[in-house]
């Protein structure tokens, strides 16, 4: 494990990263990159089909998996959610998907993921762009869907219904 003391400048396809301070780290398998609440991924600019700005990133299936290459996973994109339980379920799903031995955690084909994203976008068309990843009332049914996918028992939040 490496603790970075510089920002990432570029991620190379062969598994190396170059930092802004000029240092190169080789043979990277996994990157956990925490941005806080603003999207800022300049080192991902070379990923074909990935679009991002301060308010939106995509195309992400269920606000988590990059639809064009689902091994690129974003935990914590949804906003106005109970962060820790929501993000834990995203992480469980991601781990099970990457493991490949959990049938329920497998993802649909790219076309189905993009169709799902289109339905979400249609439901948000009257909202400002900055609200694209905002869940609020949708978080509990979404969490239950992720619980079903990951085999995690369902829980009703206090005061729900």
Residue 155 domain-assigned (yes or no) = no
Residue 20 domain-assigned (yes or no) = no
Q: Looking at residues 8-31, what average pLDDT do you find?
A: 84
Residue range(s) defining the domain that contains residue 144:
32-150
According to DSSP, the residues that pair with 79 across neighbouring strands are 134
Is the per-residue pLDDT at 159 higher than 60? no
> Which pTM does this prediction carry?
0.78
pLDDT of 30 reads: 77
**pLDDT for 83-114, tens place per residue?**
888 999 999 999 999 999 999 999 999 999 99
Is the per-residue pLDDT at 72 higher than 90? yes
Residue 22 domain-assigned (yes or no) = no
What are the Cα distances from residue 154, in Å, to 76, 89, 129, 144? 20, 11, 31, 6
Residue 141 domain-assigned (yes or no) = yes
How many domains would you assign to the chain? Answer: 1
Residue 4 domain-assigned (yes or no) = no
Report the C-alpha gap between 96 and 98 in whole angstroms. Answer: 5
Residue 27 domain-assigned (yes or no) = no
């Amino acid at each position: 494990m490496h603790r970075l003391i510089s920002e990432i400048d570029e991620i190379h396809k062969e598994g190396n990263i170059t930092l802004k301070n000029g240092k190169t780290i080789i043979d990277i398998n996994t990157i956990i990159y925490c941005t806080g609440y603003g999207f800022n991924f300049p080192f991902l600019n070379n990923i074909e089909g990935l679009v991002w700005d301060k308010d939106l990133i995509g195309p992400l299936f269920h606000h988590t998996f990059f639809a064009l290459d689902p091994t690129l996973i974003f935990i914590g994109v949804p906003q106005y959610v109970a962060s820790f339980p929501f993000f834990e379920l995203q992480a469980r799903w991601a781990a099970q998907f990457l493991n490949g031995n959990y049938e329920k955690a497998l993802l649909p084909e790219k076309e189905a993921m993009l169709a799902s994203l289109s339905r979400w976008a249609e439901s948000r068309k009257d909202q400002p762009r900055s609200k694209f990843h905002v869940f609020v009332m949708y978080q509990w049914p979404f969490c239950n869907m992720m619980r079903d996918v990951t085999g995690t028992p369902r829980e009703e939040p206090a005061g729900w219904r």
